[in-house]
């Protein structure tokens, strides 16, 4: 399978377990959404709370730490057209960037009583579907996004 992920570590140590988990989850996301052969990739940055807080303030005008931010490069209809028409990009194109606070992932895993792997996987899938144009602000949107997230995690057998 093509190189799907550009992975960056910003303020944290590189860990092989993170790399393996990320690729495992993102490969399944690409398979599920039929993106595998279209010359697309995503950028993922694992960082510290201070850095994600700065991004959250700069891009969303919210001055607080968060767990995950997504920055899509396409509108949902554009991604849908690429997939429907099986438009293989001539050059590798990034569908967007996902930024995850590793410290928040650790905190939330403890808070929700499940593994770090499960929480990181959920953040990845959640961020991925934001890149795909899904949202959860309105209840109707949430009803479309949540089942997609759970389907990926179920397929990978990453349970709560």
Domain boundaries, the chain: 5-155
CA distance 20 to 156: 13
User: What is the rounded average pLDDT of the residues 95-114?
Assistant: 96
Identify whether the C-beta of residue 70 lies closer than 8 Å to the C-beta of residue 135: no
Q: What is the mean pLDDT of the chain?
A: 91
The CATH code of domain 5-155 reads 3.40.390.30
Above 60 in pLDDT, residue 1? Answer: no
Residue pair 130/70 in contact (Cβ under 8 Å)? The answer is yes
Residue 59 has pLDDT above 50, yes or no: yes
Q: What is the pLDDT of residues 119-157, one digit of tens each?
A: 999 999 999 999 999 887 777 777 888 899 999 999 999
Contacts of 37 (CB under 8 A, 6+ apart): 2, 86, 88
User: What does the pLDDT average to over 37-48?
Assistant: 94
Q: Read off the pTM.
A: 0.92
């Amino acid at each position: 399978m093509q190189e799907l992920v550009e992975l960056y570590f910003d303020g944290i140590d590189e860990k092989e377990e993170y790399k393996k988990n990320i690729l495992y989850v993102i490969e399944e996301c690409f398979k599920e959404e039929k993106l595998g052969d279209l010359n697309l990739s995503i950028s993922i940055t694992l960082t510290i709370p201070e850095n994600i807080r700065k991004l959250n303030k700069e891009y969303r005008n919210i001055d607080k730490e968060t767990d995950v931010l997504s920055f899509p490069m396409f509108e949902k209809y554009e991604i849908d057209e690429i997939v429907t028409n099986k438009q293989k990009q001539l050059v590798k194109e990034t569908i967007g960037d996902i930024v995850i606070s590793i410290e928040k992932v650790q905190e939330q895993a403890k808070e929700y009583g499940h593994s770090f792997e499960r929480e990181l996987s959920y953040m990845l899938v959640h961020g991925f579907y934001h890149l795909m144009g899904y949202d959860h602000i309105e209840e109707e949107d949430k009803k479309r996004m949540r089942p997609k997230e759970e389907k990926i995690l179920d397929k990978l057998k990453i349970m709560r």
